Amino acid sequence: MLTRAKKEEAVAELEEKFGRATCIYVADYRGLDVDSVNLLRRRVRHEGGGDYEYQVSKNRLLKRAAAAAKIEGLDEHFQGPTAIALSYGDPAGLAKILEDFAKENEAFELKGGMLEGAPIGRGEIATLATLPSLDELRGRLVGLLQAPASKLARLMVEPASQLARVVAAKSKVAAE
């Protein structure tokens, strides 16, 4: 049993995490075995690179921390066994991890969450999971920015290479 001081400390820690998080997902993990939960924790930690976090907490502490952080709309999800997943960066990447885990484990159920201060439902989490991650979007943007430059470079080099091919063909014909 937690002492009052430990509870206050846990609420303060959760409040700080809620304040930093770009998104918060709430899940019901009832029916999962310990190995499955540990697998999810490792996956969240590994794929998040320190930007994602998964933890199980008491509903009363979650409600107090949400109220202290002035987050509304999550209280309705704090019923039954509750786990929260926090993203301090890319919300789509964490949504993908949780959606994939939910598909693999029927007992795991995403209830809802909060994205940039706005409540989101189960359907919106599924939609977020289909979006490309922030790294993928950055890669696409770099590719789009590089494409015109590389086309221009090829265009500038092409006349010189054509001239070189003509000279090589002439010298080959002259040598014969």
Average confidence (pLDDT) over 32-55: 90
DSSP 8-state class, residue 22:
S
d(CA 162, CA 133): 42
With residues binned 3-state (H G I as helix, E B as strand, rest as coil), the percentages for the chain, rounded to 5, are 60, 15, 25
pTM of the full predicted structure? 0.75
User: What SS3 state is found at 108?
Assistant: coil
Residue 167 binned pLDDT confidence (cut-offs 50, 70, 90): confident
pLDDT tens for 59-99 read: 999 999 988 888 888 888 898 889 999 999 888 889 999 99
Distance in angstroms (rounded) separating the CA atoms of residues 142 and 44 = 27
**What's the pLDDT band for 128 if we cut at 50, 70, 90?**
confident
Q: Using the 8-state DSSP alphabet, how is residue 57 labeled?
A: -
How many whole angstroms separate alpha carbon 143 and alpha carbon 138? 9
